[in-house]
């Protein structure tokens, strides 16, 4: 599915990722944890091709294709989805229209027919219901005036509709109360399947109680410094980064 080799990324003239290696196979769920400023969001942006995140060395291969040659929308069309740490507001554009445009754009990219309006309506209503979203929210402008929890829930609805093959979720659990956290976990677990992969970026063990990862990585100072099973998250929770011998200014 995804193979990242020796990835170096520079942002604003500063090298943030310094030789990161990560392989995610079909059907696997990976969690990345790490101190603030370690480069977790940088990794997710570099994967999705955000402007200003310059890959200076290394490679990103996705289903055998070189991701680095593609525009962000092409990467999305290839099945890459990013759940944003801070979802963006788009005034005047309803959730429904936004998502339908996005879905159809991805379909066109893949050479598929656009979805009929009726079918789309059915799809989005079903997904909203699964994630306990009030259908009225679908008519509201994208993320405008949404609470933190509603924004994250909205990310999950978008993910469910777009049905990506690799979802990268950047602190989708941060700042959520327990009910909202369960909704997010439901969203992720529903996507989980043998041909899809998930990369969760999180600060906290608690999400991992609901979505049990196959692997846990610790990212510090621009590199993956430790990899383990789900127990690594528990160990981290108990001992802290210092206790695991990880300092923020490592490498």
Partner 1 sequence: MVATQEAKQTVQDVTGEYKYGFVTDIETEKAPKGLSEDVIRFISAKKDEPEWLLAWRLKAYQKWLTMEEPTWAMVDYPKIDFQDIYYYSAPKSAEDGPKSLDEVDPELLRTYEKLGISLKEQEVLAGVAVDIVFDSVSVATTFRKKLKEAGIIFCSISEAAHDYPELMKKYLGSVVPVADNYYSALNSAVFTDGTFVYIPKGVRCPMELSTYFRINEANTGQFERTIIIADEGSYVSYLEGCTAPQRDENQLHAAVVELITHDDAEIKYSTVQNWYPGDKDGKGGIYNFVTKRGACRGKNSKISWTQVETGSAITWKYPSCLLIGDGSVGEFYSVAITNNYQQADTGTKMIHIGKNTSSTIISKGISAGKSEATYRGLVRVMAGAENARNFTQCDSLLIGDKCGAHTVPYIEIKNPTAQVEHEATTSKISDEQLFYCQQRGLETEDSVALIVNGFCKDVMKNLPMEFAVEAQKLLGISLEGSVG
Ligand X SMILES: Nc1ncnc2c1ncn2[C@@H]1O[C@H](COP(=O)(O)OP(=O)(O)O)[C@@H](O)[C@H]1O
Interface positions with partner 1 (CB under 8 A): 48, 50-52, 71-73, 75-77, 81-82, 84, 87-93, 97-106, 109, 114, 141, 158, 162
Stretch that binds ligand X, among 10-18, 122-130, 182-190, 236-244 (CB under 6 A): 10-18
Q: Of 90 and 250, which has the nearer Cβ to partner 1?
A: 90
Q: Of 50 and 206, which has the nearer Cβ to partner 1?
A: 50
**Angle of CA points 27, 125, 112, to nearest 5°:** 60
Report the phi/psi class of residue 166: left, alpha or beta, with left for phi > 0 and alpha for psi in -120 to 50: beta
Are the beta carbons of 152 and 127 closer than 8 angstroms? no
Report CA 144 to chain centroid distance, whole Å. Answer: 21
- Nearest CA to 31 out of 225, 155, 178, 212 is that of 212
Long-range contacts of 132-137 (CB under 8 A, 24+ apart): 132/183, 133/157, 137/95
* Contacted entry of Mg ion, partner 1, ligand X, none for residue 55, CB cut-off 5 to 8 Å set by kind: none
As measured in angstroms, the least distance from the Cβ of 105 to partner 1 is 4
By the rule CB under 6 A, 38 interacts with ligand X: yes
Tokens of 221: 């100072």
**Angle of CA points 107, 109, 114, to nearest 5°:** 30
Longest Cα separation, the chain: 56
Query: What is the size of the binding site for Mg ion (CB under 5 A)?
Result: 2
- Nearest CA to 84 out of 138, 18, 153, 35 is that of 153
Q: Of 39 and 49, which has the nearer Cβ to ligand X?
A: 39
Stretch that binds ligand X, among 40-48, 74-82, 91-99, 117-125 (CB under 6 A): 40-48
Binding mask 47-86 for Mg ion (x = CB under 5 A): ----------------------------------------
Q: Which of 10, 41, 106, 143 binds Mg ion (CB under 5 A)?
A: 41
By the rule CB under 6 A, 41 interacts with ligand X: yes
Q: Which of 1, 7, 16, 167 binds ligand X (CB under 6 A)?
A: 16
* Contacted entry of Mg ion, partner 1, ligand X, none for residue 81, CB cut-off 5 to 8 Å set by kind: partner 1
Phi, psi of 152 (to 5 degrees): -70, -35
As measured in angstroms, the least distance from the Cβ of 106 to partner 1 is 4
Phi, psi of 123 (to 5 degrees): -60, -50
Q: How many CA atoms lie within 13 A of 204 on its CB side?
A: 13
Which residues bind to ligand X, rule: CB under 6 A? 11-12, 14, 16, 34, 36-42
Which residues bind to Mg ion, rule: CB under 5 A? 40-41
């Amino acid at each position: 599915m995804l193979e990242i080799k020796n990835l170096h990324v520079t942002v604003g003239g500063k090298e943030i990722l310094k030789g990161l290696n990560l392989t995610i196979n079909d059907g696997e769920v990976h969690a990345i944890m790490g101190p603030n400023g370690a480069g977790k969001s940088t990794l997710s942006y570099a994967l999705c091709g955000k402007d200003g995140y310059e890959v200076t060395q290394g490679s990103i291969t996705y289903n055998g294709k070189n991701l680095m040659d593609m525009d962000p929308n092409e990467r999305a069309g290839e099945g890459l989805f990013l759940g944003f740490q801070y979802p963006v507001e788009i005034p005047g554009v309803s959730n429904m229209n936004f998502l339908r445009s996005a879905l159809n754009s991805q379909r066109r990219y893949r050479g598929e027919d656009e979805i009929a309006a009726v079918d789309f309506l059915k799809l989005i209503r079903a997904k909203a219901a699964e994630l306990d979203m009030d259908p009225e929210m679908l008519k509201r402008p994208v993320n405008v005036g949404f609470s933190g929890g509603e924004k994250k829930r909205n990310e999950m609805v978008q993910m469910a509709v777009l049905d990506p093959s690799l979802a990268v979720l950047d602190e989708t659990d941060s700042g959520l109360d327990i009910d909202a956290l369960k909704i997010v976990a439901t969203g992720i677990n529903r996507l989980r399947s043998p041909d899809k992969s998930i990369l969760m970026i999180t600060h906290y063990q608690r999400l991992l109680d609901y979505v049990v990862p196959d692997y846990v990585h610790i990212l510090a100072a621009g590199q993956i410094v430790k990899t383990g099973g789900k127990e690594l998250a528990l160990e981290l929770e108990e001992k802290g980064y210092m206790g695991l011998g990880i300092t923020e200014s490592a490498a």
